[in-house]
């Protein structure tokens, strides 16, 4: 019976192997190759299965495994519906005597003669340099044999280890495990399981074909689930212990699955290394102190640091009524700022930058709306205030404003090492989205940035992957921003345009933000900035608070929105309460010399 490829089979195989994948067109890419696991450098996304034709290939030169999906399934013991049960070769039943060469070799690896003979380890009669590991099932029946070259030379030999052809893959050492009430210890290599036995641990087995192959599991499953507790003693490399992820995804939840603690490896790779350097007591200590593995992304609620939401560190907006409602922008939050095009969102964002600088914070800005020079000019005007702006008549008969050289220099020196902006003229050699997000993270790490402002979402997202919709890409981008805000305990402000509302559109302001609904779902605070009729509200602009995750207080109607005024001259946005009528003085003015003329010389 021939096999007709089904895409669902490929996805099911990936899930069964606990592999992380992503789809690009007709290719299902795996984060790590199932055969080589990414090699020593953990190369990612080098392995793919074609969903149309079924061919697979690893692009790593040292691996280069390729073939059809059916072979991939067979290599990893994944049975497709069309395949009949595999018939394995029957072996002659005998238990060989351990030869001196085997005893001598394993003594050099810290394994005693008694353990070597108990497990019937020997050598080939025609080649005394080849070690022989007999695999007996739980009944003592010989079902497979593995060979290992004791004098392996990478340049000379094709393989270091190999099996008798067409024999059943099972766990090594099953016949030595007789007490199901005690834990079963599973290692990656046969010499490692012998090392555990050398330490006096009764139930010690090893997988036949390394950490990534689970062809043995279906053959041993019924025997395996008789144990109440299983301890994984895999190889510890690159900060991970092999076998634990694969077994935890495949064994029933009723089994207590533990793992040797990383610190108990004492800087070594596996059980045999520990045995040879520190002795059997250290190996026994590893097993006796094994713990249920801690999940990287999970922690106990009891260990979480308590906080008082009313005393959290915040960056204030500088508008008292708004800060009263949201209690400032708390570190770790993602703030979405929306409003109609041309009504002042970018100006409001720029003023948040000015306020953060005045509070001693370091800032990073991405401006997709303005050039670097235009953004700097707007910020400098906001920081300067009306008394430092020099009026002049432009060529068109209108009034323009300038800053004196002294004022410009003082402002620039004040925020010199605390204000950074993404260079829009930089031509990167990778995905633009990743370039921006990567630059944000590096700026946070290198410059201790605490406020990131991105203006705006659509210009920041230059590229969308072929297998993603614009909404998926937006959701992922905003999700990354939220993760960065939480990871580094900073504030990120994202400017997002609203979509056009229809005449009968009754959605609230959060739903009217253009793009994926995840934009506002993932935000902690959503602010809407808009112009209004001065006669109706005794101001020219309104700020609505349409989402306020921590404090919960909202201002969603024009009647209860925060009222503010915008100054075209200074670019400043100020509240309407009497205390805010006095023009704010920012910290840079302290750098001006006392006898300096604040107006300086006119540049014309």
Annotated domain spans of the chain:
7-75, 100-288, 314-499+507-591
Which residue in the block uniquely carries the two structure tokens 């009034």?
Answer: 399
Nearest to 440 by CA among 487, 474, 475: 487
Supply 141's token pair: 């029946």
Give the SS3 label for residue 121.
coil
Domain 314-499+507-591 has CATH 3.40.50.300: yes
Band of residue 429 on the pLDDT scale cut at 50, 70, 90: low
∠ CA 308-310-315, nearest 5°, is: 115
Cis, peptide link before residue 287, omega less than 30° from 0? no
183 contact partners, CB below 8 Å, separation of at least 6: 203, 227, 228, 229, 230, 231, 258, 287, 290
Mean pLDDT across the stretch 488-496? 96
- Specify whether domain 100-288 bears CATH 3.40.1360.10: yes
Q: Would you say 551 and 309 are in contact if contact means Cβ atoms under 8 Å apart?
A: yes
Q: Are 89 and 169 in contact (CB under 8 A)?
A: no
State which H helix or E strand residue 443 sits in.
Answer: helix 432-447
Question: What is the C-alpha to C-alpha distance for residues 400 and 381, in angstroms, rounded to an integer?
Answer: 12
User: Given a cut of 90, is residue 262 above it in pLDDT?
Assistant: yes
| Average pLDDT for 160-166 | 92
The larger pLDDT score, comparing residue 222 to residue 40, is at 222
Using DSSP, state whether 336 is helix, strand or coil.
strand
Q: At what angle do helices 345-358 and 372-384 cross, to 10 degrees?
A: 60
Q: Place 39 in a pLDDT band, splitting at 50, 70 and 90.
A: confident
d(CA 548, CA 526): 7
Look at 275 and 468; give whichever has higher pLDDT: 275
Of 314, 318, 459, the residue nearest 382 (C-alpha) = 318
Query: Among the listed ranges 139-148, 154-163, 326-335, which one has the minimum average pLDDT value?
Result: 154-163
CATH architecture of structural domain 7-75: Alpha-Beta Complex (3.90)
Spatial distance between the Cα atoms of 577 and 472, rounded to a whole number of angstroms: 43
Q: How far is residue 41 CA from its own chain's centroid?
A: 18
Q: What per-residue confidence (pLDDT) applies to 506?
A: 45
Q: What is the pTM of this model?
A: 0.59
β-sheet bridge partners, residue 327: none
CA distance 4 to 7: 10
pLDDT of residue 597: 52
Give me the chain's average pLDDT, please: 89
* pLDDT tens digits for range 559-585: 999 999 999 999 999 999 887 778 999
Residue 229 has pLDDT above 70, yes or no: yes
User: What are the counts of helices (DSSP H) followed by strands (DSSP E) for the chain?
Assistant: 18, 28
Give, to the nearest 10 degrees, the angle between helix 271-278 and helix 280-288.
130
Q: Where do we find the tokens 């003085």?
A: 585
* Mean pLDDT (whole number) for 366-393: 93
pLDDT-derived band at 42 (thresholds 50, 70, 90) equals confident
- For range 314-319, the mean pLDDT: 96
Q: Which of 213-227, 302-316, 368-382 has the highest mean pLDDT?
A: 368-382
Q: Which comes out higher in pLDDT, residue 74 or 281?
A: 281
* Separation between Cα atoms, residue 245 and residue 263, nearest integer Å: 18
Q: What mean pLDDT is predicted for residues 223-238? A: 94
By CB atoms closer than 10 A (0-12, 13-18, 19+), residue 341 is: exposed
Contact 359, 450 (CB under 8 A): no
Confidence of residue 332 (pLDDT cuts 50, 70, 90): very high
E-strand stretches of 215-308? 229-233, 236-237, 240-241, 256-259
In what helix (H) or strand (E) does residue 148 lie, and over which residues does it extend? strand 142-149
């Amino acid at each position: 019976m021939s096999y007709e490829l089904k895409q669902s089979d490929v996805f099911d195989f990936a899930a069964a192997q606990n592999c992380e994948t992503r789809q690009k067109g007709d290719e299902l890419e795996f984060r790590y190759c199932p055969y080589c696991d990414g090699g020593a450098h953990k190369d990612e996304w080098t392995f793919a299965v074609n969903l149309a034709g079924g061919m697979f290939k690893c692009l790593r030169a040292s691996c280069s495994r390729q073939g059809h999906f059916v072979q991939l399934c067979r290599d990893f013991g994944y049975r497709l519906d069309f395949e009949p049960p595999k018939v394995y070769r029957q072996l002659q039943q005998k238990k060989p005597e351990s030869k001196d060469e085997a005893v001598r070799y394993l003594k050099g690896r810290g394994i005693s003669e008694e353990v070597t003979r108990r497990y019937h380890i020997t050598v080939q009669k025609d080649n005394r340099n080849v070690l022989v590991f007999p695999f007996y099932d739980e009944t003592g029946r010989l079902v497979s044999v593995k060979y290992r070259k004791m004098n392996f030379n990478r340049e000379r030999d094709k393989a270091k280890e190999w099996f008798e052809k067409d024999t059943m893959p099972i766990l090594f050492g099953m016949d030595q495990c007789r007490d199901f009430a005690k834990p079963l210890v599973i290692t990656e290599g046969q010499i490692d399981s012998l090392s555990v036995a050398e330490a006096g641990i009764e139930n010690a087995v090893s997988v036949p074909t390394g950490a990534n192959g689970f062809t043995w599991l279906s053959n041993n499953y019924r025997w395996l689930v008789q144990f109440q507790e299983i301890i994984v003693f895999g190889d510890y490399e690159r900060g991970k212990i092999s076998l634990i992820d694969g077994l935890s995804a495949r064994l029933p939840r009723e089994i207590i699955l533990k793992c040797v603690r990383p610190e108990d490896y004492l800087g070594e790779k596996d059980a045999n290394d520990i045995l040879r350097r520190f002795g059997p007591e250290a190996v026994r200590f590893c097993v006796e102190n094994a713990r249920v593995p801690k999940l990287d992304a999970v922690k106990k609620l009891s260990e979480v640091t308590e906080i008082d939401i009313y005393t959290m560190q915040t960056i204030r907006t500088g508008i008292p009524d708004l800060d009263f409602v949201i209690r400032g922008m708390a570190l770790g939050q993602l703030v979405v700022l929306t409003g109609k095009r041309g009504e002042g969102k970018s100006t409001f964002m720029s003023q948040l930058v000015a306020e953060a600088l005045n509070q001693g914070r370091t800032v990073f800005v991405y401006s997709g709306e303005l050039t670097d020079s235009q953004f700097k000019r707007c910020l400098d005007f906001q920081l300067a205030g009306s008394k430092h702006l020099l009026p002049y008549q432009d060529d068109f008969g209108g009034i323009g404003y300038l800053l004196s050289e002294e004022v410009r220099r003082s402002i620039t020196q004040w925020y010199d090492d605390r204000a950074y902006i993404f260079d829009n003229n930089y031509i990167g050699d990778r995905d633009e989205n990743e370039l921006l997000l990567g630059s944000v993270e590096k700026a946070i790490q290198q410059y201790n940035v605490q406020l990131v402002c991105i203006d705006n979402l659509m210009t920041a997202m230059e590229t969308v992957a072929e297998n993603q919709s614009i909404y998926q890409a937006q959701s992922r981008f905003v999700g990354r921003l939220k993760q960065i805000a939480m990871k580094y305990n900073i504030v990120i402000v994202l400017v997002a345009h609203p979509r056009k509302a229809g005449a009968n559109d009754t959605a609230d302001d959060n739903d009217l933000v253009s793009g994926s609904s995840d934009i506002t779902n993932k935000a902690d605070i959503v602010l809407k900035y808009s112009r209004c009729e001065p006669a109706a509200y005794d101001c020219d602009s309104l700020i609505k608070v349409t989402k306020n995750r921590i404090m919960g207080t909202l201002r969603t109607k024009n009647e209860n929105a925060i009222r503010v005024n915008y100054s075209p001259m200074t670019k400043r946005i100020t509240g309407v309460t009497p205390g805010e009528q006095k023009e704010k003085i920012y910290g840079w003015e302290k750098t001006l010399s006392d006898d300096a003329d604040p107006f300086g010389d006119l540049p014309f």
